[in-house]
Structure 1
Amino acid sequence: MAIENARLAEAQRRETFRRRLLDQVMAAQEEERKRIARELHDELAQSLTVLIRDLETLTGAAPAGPAGLQEQIRETRALALRILGQTRRLIFDLRPTALDDLGLLPAIRRYAQHRLEPAGIQLHMDVAGEVRRLPPQVETAVFRIAQEAITNVVRHANASQVHVRLCFAPDSVALTVADNGAGFDPDAVLAGPSSTRCMGLLGMRERAELLGGHLDIESQAGAGTTVHLCIPLTT
């Protein structure tokens, strides 16, 4: 009996250590995301903006230049605009400023619109409870789980509609992301060979469990997918 208790205590100690380490790793990742996003904005995005303005000025200043010059300038400007758009999307994916400045609801809404509308997927979003700011680690976890769920819809679901629901209760926050797409077998994905999708699902569950929450994924072929998250709030 004493040996068994010692084994259980050791297993619990190791699990506690693992969770603390994972929490530190995720926090470090978020800080690195912030740093990279800030540098991309301050350096690359700003430089591209200046380049685009200079090309616009050059177009107006040299209307009668050598043959083909105007076309080259226009093509270069179009390329710079595309790169600027890609850079802004990358910055948004790394760390949307709305999450830090405005909170969870605006950040999720903007990200959902940002990813779903270009894919032609209709977004339905509703909120329950009193919308308020939550502890930073909770907002980050809920946003990242929403981000992964929405990204999976775009990449895998072949859906035409997505319903996102955010519920603020006095002692918890809950998120539901449901689509009408192709569906899949979550257990088979998690048990199968390592893949981006598998790692994404595992990451979602780890984030939820680190904060004492739980994540449920309901899906079957032809019946869409529903991701439900609930995280308790300590007072």
Structure 2
Amino acid sequence: MLETKEWIKRYFEEASDAVLIFKDDELIVCNQLATDLRDELHLDPKYLIEVADASVRQKFSQTDNCFSCAIKNHMQEISVPITLANDMPHPLKYFMIYHVIDADNHVYSLTLKNRGTIQRMDQLAQQRRLNQYVNRAYEEERKRISQDLHDSIAQGVYSAIMGVRRLRDADVSEAEINQLTQVIEQQLDDTLSEVKGMALDIRPSVLDNFGLLPALKVLAKRLEENSGVTITVVGNANTDKLSTNVQSVLYRIGQESINNALKHADANEIEVLLVTHDHYIILEIMDDGKGFNVPDHQGFNGRSLGLMNMNERVKALNGAFEIKSTPGVGTTVTAKFPFS
């Protein structure tokens, strides 16, 4: 038991956060980091209590400024942003956590946590959630491709195989052979077209051979023919100096934005604009569809490239991403990257 207490004491003293424990608003114990802050910054613990007091009063004004009552009756813990050493070249930014230890005896703690550390932890947590989402999205995409291969490509090839087997039948007349040959040829042509369509969806060769703008024009033409919706691609952008990653992301954003407009917006016209300025390149996809409320669609979803994934992929390459949409008016998706 004594050894356990020693471990707890050592953990308390070596904690990476400054911890101060009070009883009846009087400091009774603090760890080494809190002691160092008090000594170096001439920090008065009463000041920290006043900051926490003001924050609680702001949140619970109905308690008539009863600090202890507010904490006891409404919540066990509260977080307050606080900056110390404002007069120094590098101010220290913390979150101060007020935590009730024993409400009946008015014992509580104030813990100063470095804001940079917390933000970094939040970023790591966000990155883990994003990785989980991307993995789910990729898995959904693989399932879709597998389903297409099974339902369409495999069935087309199997039908052609059955037709070839019939050709070996000695009882088939010449007229039947000619008719069957035409059927098999048509089946293989349809299957080949579907394979080419899948290849274009996965990675268009025109993007590698001719660049981003021609690839977007080929994409628009194909989707326009399939949907009947007018899709226009205009621009003056020379993307030769863009990295392959940036071109790929811009193409995917164009592809996903057009597909979203066709599937969900009931658009009559879609315009894609790709232009370069002195220091950046902009891709804009505008539609005249029914629009939507953007905040309602920023979470995780099952699409291959959702709005959140678009944003994260652009930011990872030092770009900027924005979606503007108004119900009943339309949607504009914008991606911007530095350009020289």
Q: Settle same-fold status: TM greater than 0.5.
A: yes
Tell which structure's C-alpha radius of gyration is larger: 2
* Higher alpha-carbon deviation: 167-176 or 67-76: 67-76
Q: Distance in 2 between matches of 1:190 and 1:13?
A: 21
Instruction: Give the C-alpha shift of residue 107 in structure 1.
Output: 1.2
- 2: CA distance between counterparts of 1:128 and 1:106? 11
Q: Is 1:109 the counterpart of 2:212 in the alignment? A: no
Displacement after TM superposition at 1:147 (Å): 1.1
Q: What is the rounded CA distance, in whole Å, between the counterparts of 2:233 and 2:226 in structure 1?
A: 17
Change (3 A) 1:85 1:129: closer
- For 1:179, the equivalent position in structure 2 comes to 287
Cross-structure match for 2:327: 221
In the alignment of these two chains, the number of paired residues is: 205
Q: Deviations over 1:9-61 (max 9, x none)?
A: 35337737976996xx89xx8xxx9xx9xxx9xxx9xxx8xx9xxx8xx9xxx
| Residue 78 in structure 1 maps to residue 180 in structure 2 | no
Amino acid at match of 2:317: L
Instruction: Report the structure, 1 or 2, having the larger strand content.
Output: 2
Aligned partners of 1:123 and 1:162 also within 8 Å: yes
C-alpha spacing 1:170/1:16, structure 2 compared with 1 (3 Å): farther
Structure 1 CA distance, aligned partners of 2:255 and 2:119? 33
Where 1:68 maps in the other structure, the secondary structure is helix
Q: Distance in 2 between matches of 1:16 and 1:98?
A: 37
Shift of 1:129: 5.2
Give the aligned partner of residue 89 of structure 1. Answer: 197
Whether 1:136 and 2:244 are equivalent positions in the alignment is: yes
- The question of whether the paired residues in 2 share the 8 Å contact of 1:186 and 1:217 is answered with yes
* 2:220/2:232 contact within 8 Å kept: no
Which of these residues, 106, 122, 127, is aligned with residue 230 of structure 2? 122
Deviation at 1:96, TM superposition (A): 0.7
Q: Which of 203, 206, 209 lines up with 1:98 in the alignment?
A: 206
TM-align CA RMSD: 3.6
What secondary structure, in the 3-state scheme, does the structure 1 residue paired with 2:173 have?
coil
Partner Cα separation in structure 1 for residue 117 and residue 211 of structure 2: 39
* Residue in 2 that maps onto 1:196: 303
Deviations 1:142-190 (A, max 9, x none): 1111111111122222222111100112321100101112222222223
The unaligned stretches of length 5 or more in structure 1 are 59-63
Query: TM-score w.r.t. structure 2 length?
Result: 0.51
Q: Which residue of 2 aligns with 1:169?
A: 277
User: Compared with structure 1, are the counterparts of its residues 133 and 65 closer, same or farther at alpha carbon in structure 2 (3 Å cutoff)?
Assistant: farther
Partner of 1:125, secondary structure, is: strand
Question: Residue in 2 aligned with 1:61?
Answer: none
- Aligned identity (percent) is 28
What is the SS of the residue equivalent to 1:196? coil
TM-score (norm 1): 0.71
What is the CA-CA distance between 1:66 and the residue it aligns to? 4.8
Q: Distance in 2 between matches of 1:166 and 1:19?
A: 30
CA contact (8 A) 1:19 1:210 kept: no
Candidates 207, 219, 233, aligned match of 2:313? 207
Unaligned runs of 5+ in 2: 1-83, 85-91, 96-112
Deviations 1:117-158 (A, max 9, x none): 221111222214555441111111111111111111222222
Q: Compared with structure 1, are the counterparts of its residues 91 and 129 closer, same or farther at alpha carbon in structure 2 (3 Å cutoff)?
A: closer
Of the structure 1 ranges 80-89 and 179-188, higher mean CA displacement relative to structure 2 is found in: 179-188
Contact 1:103 1:133 in 2 (8 A): no
Measure, in 1, the Cα distance between the counterparts of 2:251 and 2:272.
12
Alpha-carbon distance between aligned partners in 2 of 1:17 and 1:168, rounded to the nearest angstrom: 35
| Structure with the higher helix share, 1 or 2 | 1
CA distance in 1, matches of 2:125, 2:238: 35
